[in-house]
Structure 1
Amino acid sequence: MEPTTTIRSNIEDYIRKQGYTLQYFADISGVNAGTLSAIIKGTRPIAMAQLDLITQGMKLEEGHFYEIYGAECFVESAPHWRRLEPFLQRCAELDKLDCIQRVIQQVTDDRSYVSELFELAEYMLERDQKKAARMLYECVAECEKYQHSERLALCHYRIFTLSLGQDQHENLRAAVHFEPYINRLDEERQLDAIKDLANTYLALRYWDKVFELAEELDQKTKILQSYTKRKNDKSNRLTIYPLFVYRAYSNLLKSSTCERQGRYKDALKYTELYSKLAKVSEPDEEDQIYIEKFAIWTEANTYLYKLMMGDPSILPSYVKFIEKNEREVLPAMINILEMANKFGQNIDEILDKFSDQINSEIARLRGYTEQVKLDMYITFLLERSVYLLNRCEYLEGLRQLMHCLGESVKINNQTDIIHCVAIYERYRNTAIAEIEHQYKLIMMEVHKRYDKKENSLFNLA
């Protein structure tokens, strides 16, 4: 086994092999010759800026020596924050996450750096360096796991939001792990945390849990409003939105939950309530943005609930609303498809009318969280396949169903996987060989996924 080389020995070997003088390499690298000499002799530590210049001078890729640098400066010797901070920042910029992980595992023994690591994580998050930020948040959380600090709770909140992705099973695990920390957050931050948690459960279709969190959001916002005398302006507040938005949104969540449970009268009641709550006196420019959003949701959902209560006369007005609000095309089409499937209505003309906008909206899905976007897309595919199958358009209906099943498998949405399989079995006798083959391939993927999970359990044992 070859002995481990140091950065200094690498520099010295490079200069010798290239036949350079120390002064010449100093000129091409941009590092002072005296500084370079002291670095090679080991009498002066290498700063990050100098390391990057030397690496460039040696015609190596950026970050080439970071692994060795991390070991020399922070593992084999006592780390100093003045050198550690720029190292972690540069690793984040170059996506050298392994280097970050190795170093922070070593520095966790020194609890004096916990505050600095947390602040750096916040800085990285602002710069959208999410993977690196999450590593630091996890490090801080591990250091403070026996504390009951707000910082610990905030770390878990950040980890929760950074954990959310396409796998709905993993999203559920993240939600369950984070929930106990909500009440340790600052009262204002609790509002955003509850909202984010409710949105996650909404995408997972845990309707009772969504309603419970919506009620909690409503009560906590009401309490904050009761003793917040000052204008809750953006420069001084911790919440992302003005306070009135949270009470209005809590009732929007309640109405959505009632809708999914078939309680349309209750859904209308909560719609009227959030419509009133979203009206504020002397609104500023920011307030006006949310007032208009809730006005659109109020109109759209009022049409929807009346449709689902069996009033088809409202459909022309709903269509006119969609024409004026193209960003609401996809959720509106889902609603109209659900109504058509429930009451056996023919909506071919409406689907044709908005086909271009539907395709465009699927590509964008603006204004919704990532989890809600995925759930909405799959719901649309499912409802459209059911509509086509109900109208005996078996080939296209089953193609849409296979698309829906494939997307459900990708995000590990077990409820929709089961639903798609049940529908397919019902219409299996109409499937052509192409559809049957596609179905088998998708189900093989499902079996592989569960085989991996079973194997991992045996390995743990």
Structure 2
Amino acid sequence: MELQKTMQRSLRSEIQKRLKENGYTLSKLSELSGIGTGHLSEMLNSSPSRAITVNQLDAMATAFGHAPGWLYELYPEECLSEGKISRPRLVPYLVRCAEIGRKDCIKAVVSNLLENPKNISILFSVAEQLFQSGKQKESVFFYELVIDNEKDSYSDQFVMSQYRLFRAVQGTNTEENWKAVIRFDSYWKRLPENVQLDALLQLANVCFMMYRWKDVEKYADELRNLATIVYENELLRRTSPKANDLLKTERHLVVYYGQGFLLKAAALKKQRLYEEAKQYIQGYADLGWFEILDETGQQEVEKFRVWAKINSYTLDMMLGNYEILPECITFLEDHPGEIFPALVTIMECANKYGFCIDEVLERFSEYTSYTEDDLNGLSASRHFRFRYQKAIYELQRERFNIGINETLRSLALADKMNHYQDFKQCVSLFEEHRHHASNSQIIAYNKIIEGGTQTNESSVTLVSSSFGIL
């Protein structure tokens, strides 16, 4: 008998049931839900009945005092009927299910959709809507379905799914980031050129976080060459009487061109090839000659100018010219957004040449703090580098309590990023100075070693799309 009752349930019968239980007329339900009385009548009383959208179902759920997701298990009857699929209703429904966590409803529908390969495009549309609305984590399941079920590995939706999946899984865990690079590397050349540009920028940034300098160089060279080709093609296209708007890219075209030089310089600097790095800094120091510049492009050119100036200062300091520090500090005060990235390199220089920057650290102390929410992939890497170098700086000056606290912060960040080599360096630094540690510091150290700060997968955040200070 219970099974029979369940089988007899339908979306409209349940809504009618709630109307009766609450003593609502259609006018009252219209007042509470914001849905027109005429539309409600057509939905519930007409034959054939008017379709109910998922947003209207949510509105009725609120009117009846239910949480979002009410009757979602019955909603597929609005989308799937006699072998026909209503895409305009099904896609929003699956998007909404993903947003509120109704995995049971998603799985039930997906199993039916996959019976026909043509329906893979529906899953791709759901993934795209989630990704574009900032729900990258929720989009992963649908992109994986496309990849697993699309037989043509050169199709647009397959290749784009590979790219979106690469983007969506990026976070602070460097091991997982590298796995994503390996999976995606063989597909980026199949993307349209305008998407290839951003893919190369993302690949280079991920490799930068993992200290894979040769890979950064490789992707930077590819990015620079591709941006040059696209730029030249755009100039030719604009001379044609049939020219349309500028090629659509996620960032302004000048960003990809400039980042090709900047990333190359960054990789060379990390390999201590300072003079070679200087040559590539000149490649983005003055991009005012770039012909395709709107207001946004002009702003990007100015950013590159500032970055080139600061990076030139820090490279000079790495070469031993730390007398230039006051001039660099004055420049940074006019560009507060670049203070923290520059401090990372200034700290490295101070440790390398043994000069004091206490006054600099005091002046810019407000720029060096962070919260858990601040740590996306790139900023986590920067904060680790700063904390680790500051730990060395304080320990060299025998300020052991501060130095050990900074060592612990570095250790926790290395653990968060799942970066084994950094973690090992921090352990070595702590053990070297363990005899200066307090009991509370030793307890904190042991907790990190035992895995007390390891993050879970739900904390994943996207990697920044570009950076400026080497």
Which shows bigger deviation, 69-78 or 330-339?
Answer: 69-78
- Report the CA distance shift for 1:84/1:340 in structure 2 as closer, same or farther (over 3 A): same
Aligned with 1:424 (options 385, 410, 430): 430
Residue 126 (structure 1) aligned with residue 132 (structure 2): yes
8 Å CA contact retained: 2:42, 2:50: no
Aligned to 1:371: 377
CA distance in 2, matches of 1:105, 1:378: 45
Alignment of 1:140 with 2:146, yes or no, is yes
> Which amino acid in structure 1 is aligned with residue 341 of structure 2?
P
Alpha-carbon shift at residue 191 of structure 1 (Å): 1.1
Residues 95 and 129 of structure 2 are in contact (CA less than 8 Å); yes or no, is this contact kept in structure 1? no
Greater helix proportion: 1
Aligned pair 1:226/2:236, yes or no? no
SS at match of 1:180: coil
Q: Equivalent residue for 1:320? A: 330
Please give the per-residue CA displacement for 1:424-450, whole angstroms capped at 9, x wherever unaligned: 11111211111111111111117999x
Question: Which AA in structure 1 matches 2:149?
Answer: C
The offset of 1:190, in angstroms, is 0.8
1:248 and 2:254 are equivalent in the alignment? no
1:357 aligns with 2:367: yes
Once the two structures are TM-superposed, the CA of residue 400 in structure 1 deviates from its matched residue by: 1.1
> Letter of the aligned partner of 2:69 in structure 1?
G
Offset at 1:188?
2.1
Counterparts of 2:180 and 2:443 in 1: how far apart (Å)?
A: 35
Taking the aligned partners of 2:403 and 2:308, their CA distance within structure 1 comes to: 32
Q: CA deviation at 1:26?
A: 3.3
Q: Which residue pairs with 2:29 in the alignment?
A: 29
* Aligned positions, number: 439
Residue 407 of structure 1: aligned partner:
413
How many percent of aligned residue pairs carry the same amino acid? Answer: 29
2:279 to 264, 269, 278: 269
Structure 2 CA distance for aligned equivalents of residues 370 and 347 of structure 1: 27
Query: Does 2:203 correspond to 1:193?
Result: no
Change in 2 beyond 3 A, CA 1:231/1:389:
farther
In structure 2, what is the equivalent of residue 302 of structure 1? 312
Q: Which amino acid aligns with 1:308?
A: M
Structure 1 residue aligned with 2:353 = 343
Q: Distance in 2 between matches of 1:319 and 1:447?
A: 35
Q: For residue 214 of structure 1, what is the aligned residue in structure 2? A: 220
1:205 matched residue in structure 2: 211
2:165 matched residue in structure 1: 159
Is residue 2:248 matched to residue 1:238? yes
In structure 2, do the counterparts of structure 1 residues 79 and 277 end up closer, same or farther at CA, with 3 Å as the change threshold?
Answer: same
Tell me, yes or no, if the aligned pair for 1:244 and 1:278 is still in contact at 8 Å.
Answer: no
C-alpha distance after superposition, 1:124-164 (max 9, x if no partner): 33332334433333332333244312321111111111111
Instruction: State which drifts further: 380-389 or 53-62.
Output: 53-62
How many angstroms does 1:63 deviate by? 1.7
Look up the match of 2:73.
Answer: 67
2:405 is aligned with 1:391: no
Aligned to 2:52: 47
1:289 pairs with one of 280, 299, 322: 299
Stretch deviating more after TM superposition (416-425 or 220-229)? 220-229
- Distance in 2 (CA, whole Å) between partners of 1:364 and 1:293 is 27
C-alpha displacement at 1:170, in angstroms?
1.2
AA in 1 matched with 2:364: F
What is the alpha-carbon distance in structure 2 between the residues aligned to residue 34 and residue 324 of structure 1?
64
The amino acid of 2:395's aligned partner reads: L
1:108–1:139 CA contact under 8 A, matched in 2: no
Q: Return 210-219 or 3-12, whichever deviates more.
A: 3-12
Tell me: higher relative CO, structure 1 or 2? Use CA pairs within 8 A at least 6 residues apart: 2
Select between 315-324 and 86-95 the one with higher mean Cα deviation.
86-95
Change (3 A) 1:391 1:103: same
In the TM superposition, what is the alpha-carbon distance from 1:230 to its structure 2 partner?
Answer: 3.5
Contact 1:74/1:107, CA 8 A, preserved across alignment: no
The range that moved more, 137-146 or 228-237, is 228-237
Note the C-alpha offset of 1:355: 1.4
Deviates more, 1:401-410 or 1:243-252: 243-252
Please state how far the C-alpha of 1:171 moved relative to its aligned partner: 1.2
Closer, same or farther in 2 for the Cα pair 1:239/1:170, shift >3 Å? same
Partner Cα distance (2:412, 2:285) in 1:
38
TM-score by length of structure 1 reads 0.85
The 2-side partners of 1:431 and 1:54 are apart by 61
Over 3 Å counting, the alpha-carbon distance change for 1:146 and 1:423 in structure 2 is same
| CA contact 2:78–2:89 (8 Å) conserved in 1 | no
AA aligned opposite 1:298: A
Q: Which amino acid aligns with 1:387?
A: Y
Q: CA deviation at 1:348?
A: 0.9
| Matched residue type, 1:127 | S
Which runs of no fewer than 5 residues in structure 2 stay unpaired? 31-36, 456-470
Q: Is the 8 A contact 1:28 1:57 kept in 2?
A: no
The 2-side partners of 1:386 and 1:310 are apart by 19
Deviations 1:204-235 (A, max 9, x none): 11111100111111222222233331359995
Q: 1:257 aligns with which of 253, 263, 267?
A: 267
Choose from 51, 63, 86 the match for 1:80: 86
User: What is the alpha-carbon distance in structure 2 between the residues aligned to residue 314 and residue 86 of structure 1?
Assistant: 58
Whole-angstrom distance in 2 between the partners of 1:240 and 1:426: 47
Report if aligned partners of 2:51, 2:78 keep a CA contact under 8 Å in 1. no
Q: 1:316 to 1:241 in 2, by over 3 A?
A: same
Q: Which runs of 5+ in 1 are unaligned?
A: 450-461
The structural deviation recorded for 1:308 is 0.5
Offset of 1:117 from its aligned partner? 3.8
Q: CA deviation at 1:38?
A: 5.9
Aligned CA distance change for structure 1 residues 76 and 341 (closer, same or farther; 3 Å): farther
Q: Which amino acid aligns with 1:397?
A: G
1: CA distance, partners of 2:386 / 2:151: 42
